[in-house]
Amino acid sequence: MKLKGTLLLLLSMLVVFLSGCEPLLVLDPKGPQAERQASDIMISIGIMAFIVIVVMVLLVYMLVKYRASRLPDDYEPPHIEGNPILEGILIGVPIIIVAILSFITVKSNYIVESTPEGYEDQEPLVIYASSSNWKWHFSYPEQDIETVNYLYIPTDRPIEFKLYSFGPITSFWIPQLGGQKYAMADMVTTLHLAADTPGEYMGRNANFSGKGFAENTFTVTAMTQTKFDEWVDEVHETAEPLTEDTFEQLLEPGHLGRMTFTGTHLGFSPAPEHEHSDDEMDSGEEHKMHAEKEREMHTEHAAHE
């Protein structure tokens, strides 16, 4: 009775704890890259669960069939040299499992590193995502906008993130849109994502980068292209321009709320020229082009004023 009561108590506590847990974001994908990764996770869980179930069934079978109480007192186990069939199973099955998982992993890696499936014929929205202690800066060169600690993106359009850091190595991660990728100080890494569903998603730095790491988060709002264009127009009507002095203050260690500016820091503080990506293009020239475009935009704004 005591054992039964203890098990019932443990089961009740488990139900209470699990009822307070939030759903696993990586298993609630809102984009093609995240869907691929969630599918791989479920396949891995299924394979591991099958292995555990088979092992536990065999364990119970062996314990029951070959328990000592069923054998005579003078029983002596026979001397066995080996069983080729059994040894082949013990060696072959793990090799097959590793081969299957390796094939899935390598194939998925190529898929998530490229433009999301179904978006190959669309022009991506390029966003430079840079980190500093302990905040995120998002630069939109095409829209001539920069935000701090929040991100607006259109749905049904590929997003090409250019990641780098003004401080220690960080890791850019939006669990419901795709996997994490490192942002480093001396090079630019490229991450391809897309959002299929409008909504608000959580993003964060997934790499420990000091005492303010826990609050190094940002929000991602996915909306239709029309609403995104309206937001761009609103920013240009209401936001203050981003100056070099203001940006230097933003880089100081600390936490900030959401901020919005017209212009980006790429004109006076361009991204690193060295790029790590799968593209064969000269990334240094690409960054110079973006920087030159920024300078031209600032010149035009100054002329209008």
Residue 199, pLDDT score = 96
For the chain, which residues score pLDDT lower than 50?
18-20, 278-288, 290-291, 293-295, 297-305
d(CA 4, CA 165): 56
CA geometry: angle at 221 spanning 215 and 224, to 5°? Answer: 170
Note the maximum CA span of the chain. Answer: 103
Domains of the chain, residue spans: 26-68+83-112, 125-304
d(CA 289, CA 305): 25
Q: What is the dotted CATH code of the domain comprising 125-304?
A: 2.60.40.420
Residue 158, pLDDT score = 97
Tens of pLDDT, residues 185-234: 989 999 999 999 999 999 999 999 888 888 899 999 999 999 999 999 99
Residue 86, pLDDT score = 85
135, 255 in Cβ contact below 8 A? yes
Q: Tell me the pTM.
A: 0.78
